[in-house]
Amino acid sequence: MKMKGNPVSLILVMPVLAAFFIANGCKQQPCKFEAQVEMPLSISGDYSSVLVTRVVDGDTLALENGERVRLIGIDTPEVHESKKLYRDSKRSSTDVTTIKKFGRKAWDFTRKLTENKRVNLEFDIEKRDKYNRLLAYVYLKDGTFVNAEIVKQGYASLLTIPPNVKYADLFRKLYEDARSKKIGLWGD
């Protein structure tokens, strides 16, 4: 039998194999059984070449393995009704409709950049947030640094939350450049 993945998988697979052997009369004589167990990406920890199946909003991606990724270091305007939308509206003195309009533009930019494409994830110090989303820096196969590109093109503000600060200085520079050039959301 050929096993791939985490040794814990053997514990999970054993009851299934036992049921197979019993159901197929393999109690006394040798029984040939070939199984290949592939571990889901989220269990094996391999986040290279993972498919983005959907863009939830400008800074959150859904992956083929069912997990969500929150892009580290950036924050895009809200698209969906949420407490954060109303907090942002109150904090910025911007009406909800305008925030959602900008959120839709950021979502559309991120969607065109990443949706249905394979990406690589890079992690910083903390791998997950309080909502159990992966916290990552995301790269397209051509090397495009997604988090940075969203800021560079003017579709995100900065959201630096220690200890995940590896690219904070780069993001700050890109943010200042986008604002001064009035590109993306800063030109609207």
- Marked catalytic residue, from 34, 67, 68, 78: 78
Q: Which of 24-28, 77-81, 86-90, 135-139 has the highest mean pLDDT?
A: 135-139
Comparing 39-48, 61-70, 144-153, 168-177, which segment has the lowest mean pLDDT?
39-48
For the chain, the structural domain boundaries read 2-39, 44-187
Q: What is the mean pLDDT of the chain?
A: 83
The radius of gyration of the chain's CA atoms, rounded to the nearest angstrom, is 22
Quote the DSSP letter at residue 184. G
Q: Which of 42-46, 63-67, 78-82, 106-110 has the lowest mean pLDDT?
A: 42-46
Question: Which CATH entry fits the domain spanning 44-187: 3.40.640.10, 2.40.50.90, 2.40.50.100, 3.40.50.300?
Answer: 2.40.50.90
Q: What is the pLDDT of residue 139?
A: 98
Active-site choice (38, 111, 118, 133): 133
133 is catalytic: yes
How much is the pTM? 0.76
Average pLDDT, stretch 107-132?
Answer: 98
Mean per-residue pLDDT, 39-58: 78
pLDDT computed for residue 45 by the predictor: 72
Q: Which of 34, 64, 70, 149 is catalytic?
A: 70
Confidence of residue 29 (pLDDT cuts 50, 70, 90): very low
